[in-house]
Amino acid sequence: MVKIRLRRLGYKKNPVYRIVVLNSTTKRETAPIQQLGYYNPKTKEMQLDKQSALDWIKKGAQPTGTVQFLINNCTDEGKLNYVKKETQKLSKKAQAKLQAEKEAEEAKKAAESETKTEEASA
């Protein structure tokens, strides 16, 4: 079976990957059938021959999960279309504090609306 997968390059704690087509029974570092591009996860820089990758998939090559993600999220020119997530994960304490603030605001708005209705009826 032919697979499209990543080949690790670079030095310790600074990986750079080449996107290659290999036979699945061979080791990661063997000579590839074809090199399709490269990907640097630190800088989110990528160059991919998307048309060639799609041709290999039509021929029956199986992309790994990461390579499938990269193929789906690249432009027609082969650049990564990376959008940084705007939401931040909060700790449980921060989530509880945020929830308490929202409840306090809602209670304040409810009290203001009650006073307005009492004034209007009087």
- Tell me the average pLDDT of the chain: 88
48 versus 29: the higher-pLDDT residue is: 48
Structure confidence by residue, pLDDT tens digits, 69-103: 999 988 888 888 877 777 778 888 999 999 999 99
CA end-to-end distance (rounded Å), the chain: 82
Count other C-beta atoms under 10 Å from residue 52's C-beta: 16
Distance between CA atoms of residues 43 and 2, nearest Å? 29
pLDDT band, very low/low/confident/very high, at 30 (cuts 50, 70, 90): confident
> Residues 33-53: what's their mean pLDDT?
91
- What angle in degrees, to the nearest 10, is found between the helix axes of 65-72 and 50-59? 130
pLDDT at 8: 92
pLDDT band, very low/low/confident/very high, at 122 (cuts 50, 70, 90): low
Phi-psi region of 79 (alpha: psi -120 to 50; beta: other; left: phi over 0): beta
pLDDT at 114: 83
Please choose, from the candidates 42, 36, 9, the residue with its C-alpha nearest in 3D space to the C-alpha of residue 22. 36
CATH of domain 2-72: 3.30.1320.10
Decide the pairing of beta strands 14-23 and 62-63: unpaired
Distance between CA atoms of residues 18 and 88, nearest Å? 30
- Phi first, then psi, for residue 82 (nearest 5°) are -95, 125
Amino acid code (one letter) for 97: K
Domain regions of the chain by residue span: 2-72, 85-122
Amino acid code (one letter) for 55: D
Q: pTM of the predicted model, to two decimals?
A: 0.65
pLDDT at 11: 92
pLDDT at 88: 76
